[in-house]
Amino acid sequence: MKTKEIAINLKNELLNQFEQHFDVFASANSDFVKDRRRKAAKIFKEIGFPSRNLESWRKTDLTKVLSKDYALNLSSKLEKNNIHDFFSCEINQFDTDLYTQVNGWCVEKQESPKVYENGCIVGSIKAAMHQYPELFEKHYGKYVTNEKNGLIALNSAIFSDGYFIYIPDGVDQDRTLQMVNIINSKKHEFVNARNLVILGKNARLKLVHCDDSIEFKNSLINSVTEVFIDSGAKLDYYKLQNKDEEAVILTNTFFHQEADSSLMSNTLILNGGLVRNDINVLLNGRGANADVVGLYLVDGKQFVDNHIYIDHAVSNCTSNTTFKGIADDEARSVFNGHVLVRQDAQQTLAFQNNHNIQLTNTSKIDTHPFLEIYADDVKCSHGATVGQLDKEALFYIMQRGICERNAKMLLMLAFVGEIVNKISLPTVQEYSHDLVTRRLKGELSACDQCSIECADPDKPLVFEIDMSKV
């Protein structure tokens, strides 16, 4: 039986635009990229958007969000308009090197990626593919393990821009890099962002990725991020998602880890209309370690779905997946954890946990822990819980004179603390703690301003328009 395809209109429109504007939006692309784009478009044409008939999309229904009227950014006219909205975001108290994307386009002051004294290269992927074709072509598309995913195929076909980060062998990038992806548009933006992060042998990087929105308009971000972590390298990756209730974020992140490398991936989802994160980790070298943790706080009619796939391909690797969530009102959350331990992956340590608090009867929480083990000398465990706040603890706290609201707050903060406390950067941890507290108190609603301002909420968000570029 032929499965019913969803969002045929949007799909056809995208493919039309792809054909019509290909020469324009891919004009500056190398043959390598052009070729990849065409191949991906062909796959997308075949399989389209994922539907609920697919097991991994059973709980996430895209029909509604894909039936909206989006502004597609493929033609040169739109591109020019966007490129010339040169925003730079003023942030305070948060000591990072900031790189901003607005509506899917990098808006750095200079078009070329920045080259640090230590050799690190950071900037627009669109620029990097010209200036560093060897580096780009060596890694681009190599770590996407799921070619037959319509969203990834679409992204590979029509991605606009994204960030490119290269940390050379042995370099410890002491500046924390912060990538902010802002949607600021009067139209319903459909953004396909593509990011590539390369860590050389024994390199170190701390990367913060924020998805924020400014305008209360429907927007859809479909992003693909590929991360290569060479042997002995260490990456701290923090993803913060704080979008408005109409926003749709679909992300696919691929981490490829070589021997003795180390990954800490921490995803904080504070707001969003529909959020779907697929995080894939391939442990490809002995002694690699991956900590993949996350937190989701959903209320109203928000929907969050996290799919975490850890592939233990070789022996002596460790992985630790911990996701926690709180669901209020009529919100829904889904957690899908899959740990694969291949036959050769002896001496694997793999742990997977998902814990949830359901505040209302009308909220819904799905959790699917799954271990698939083919090796016999391994230590693996998984645990999943859905519960309410501990009534005994509430009584104890209230007996000391604390009102119910604050008692619940203490318990919720304690519950989420495990995830927030795993953030190793003190400034990010402090800031995240503040955000989460405000979120739980109901003071941080869907963003009407860049959430980074929450470090100093009294200070208004300032956009500087670089007039020289207009």
Partner 1 sequence: MLSIKNLHVSINGKEIIKALDLEVNAGEVHAIMGPNGTGKSTLAAVIAGREIFEVTEGEILFEGKNLLEMPIEDRARAGVFLGFQYPIEIPGVSMTNFMRTAIDEIREYRGEKPMTAGEFLKYMKEKQKLVELQSKLSGRSVNEGFSGGEKKKNEIFQMAMLEPKLSFLDETDSGLDIDALRVVANGVNKLKSPDNATVVITHYQRLLDYIVPDFVHIMYNGRIVKTGDKDLALVLEEKGYDWIKKELGEELN
Q: What's the min distance (Å) between Cβ of 399 and partner 1?
A: 5
Selected binder of partner 1 within 418, 422, 438, 463 (CB under 8 A): 418
- Strands 262-271, 332-341: pairing kind: unpaired
How far is it, in rounded angstroms, from Cα 382 to Cα 141?
31
**Which one, of 251, 257, 58, lies nearest residue 162 by Cα?**
251
Selected binder of partner 1 within 8, 24, 403, 465 (CB under 8 A): 403
397 binds partner 1, rule: CB under 8 A: yes
460 binds partner 1, rule: CB under 8 A: no
442 binds partner 1, rule: CB under 8 A: no
Q: What's the min distance (Å) between Cβ of 443 and partner 1?
A: 17
216 binds partner 1, rule: CB under 8 A: no
Residue 212: alpha-carbon gap to chain centroid: 12
Which residue, 186 or 400, is less far from partner 1 as judged by CB?
400
Q: What's the min distance (Å) between Cβ of 285 and partner 1?
A: 35
**Which one, of 32, 274, 73, 47, lies nearest residue 158 by Cα?**
73
413 binds partner 1, rule: CB under 8 A: yes
Which residue, 370 or 395, is less far from partner 1 as judged by CB?
395
Which residue, 135 or 398, is less far from partner 1 as judged by CB?
398
371 binds partner 1, rule: CB under 8 A: no
Q: What's the min distance (Å) between Cβ of 322 and partner 1?
A: 14
With beta carbons less than 8 A apart as the criterion, state whether 333 and 296 touch.
Answer: yes
399 binds partner 1, rule: CB under 8 A: yes
364 DSSP 8-state letter: E
370 binds partner 1, rule: CB under 8 A: no
Which residue, 371 or 411, is less far from partner 1 as judged by CB?
411
Instruction: Please enumerate in sequence order all residues whose Cβ is within 8 A of that of 96, keeping only pairs 6 or more positions apart, or say none.
Output: 175, 176, 177, 178, 208
Q: What's the min distance (Å) between Cβ of 411 and partner 1?
A: 7
H or E segment to which residue 465 belongs: none
Tokens at residue 18, please? 């792809």
Selected binder of partner 1 within 8, 414, 462, 465 (CB under 8 A): 414
2 DSSP 8-state letter: P
**Which one, of 70, 77, 97, lies nearest residue 175 by Cα?**
97
402 binds partner 1, rule: CB under 8 A: yes
426 binds partner 1, rule: CB under 8 A: no
**Which one, of 388, 411, 385, 387, lies nearest residue 398 by Cα?**
411
How far is it, in rounded angstroms, from Cα 133 to Cα 32?
9
Q: Which residues share a beta bridge with 338?
A: 309, 370
Side chain identity at residue 389, one-letter code: L
Q: What's the min distance (Å) between Cβ of 338 and partner 1?
A: 28
Which residue, 92 or 424, is less far from partner 1 as judged by CB?
424
Which residue, 53 or 406, is less far from partner 1 as judged by CB?
406
Q: What's the min distance (Å) between Cβ of 299 and partner 1?
A: 21
323 binds partner 1, rule: CB under 8 A: no
Tokens at residue 98, please? 């900031």
Selected binder of partner 1 within 411, 438, 445, 463 (CB under 8 A): 411
Selected binder of partner 1 within 415, 423, 436, 453 (CB under 8 A): 415
**Which one, of 282, 280, 270, 268, lies nearest residue 244 by Cα?**
270
Helix axes 404-420, 426-440, angle to 10 degrees: 150
398 binds partner 1, rule: CB under 8 A: yes
Which residue, 69 or 404, is less far from partner 1 as judged by CB?
404
Sign of torsion, CA 101 107 112 116? negative
396 binds partner 1, rule: CB under 8 A: yes
Q: What's the min distance (Å) between Cβ of 354 and partner 1?
A: 17
Encode 360-390: b = buried (16+ Cβ within 10 Å), e = exposed: eeebbbbbebebebebeebebeeebebeebe
406 binds partner 1, rule: CB under 8 A: yes
Q: What's the min distance (Å) between Cβ of 437 and partner 1?
A: 12
DSSP state letters, 435-462 = HHHHHHTT-S-S-SS-GGGGGSTTSPP-
389 binds partner 1, rule: CB under 8 A: no
Q: What's the min distance (Å) between Cβ of 393 and partner 1?
A: 5
Helices (H) and strands (E) in the chain, counts: 10, 21
How far is it, in rounded angstroms, from Cα 381 to Cα 371?
8
Count of residues binding partner 1 (CB under 8 A)?
Answer: 22
Interacting residue ranges for partner 1, rule: CB under 8 A: 390, 392-393, 395-404, 406-407, 410-411, 413-415, 417-418
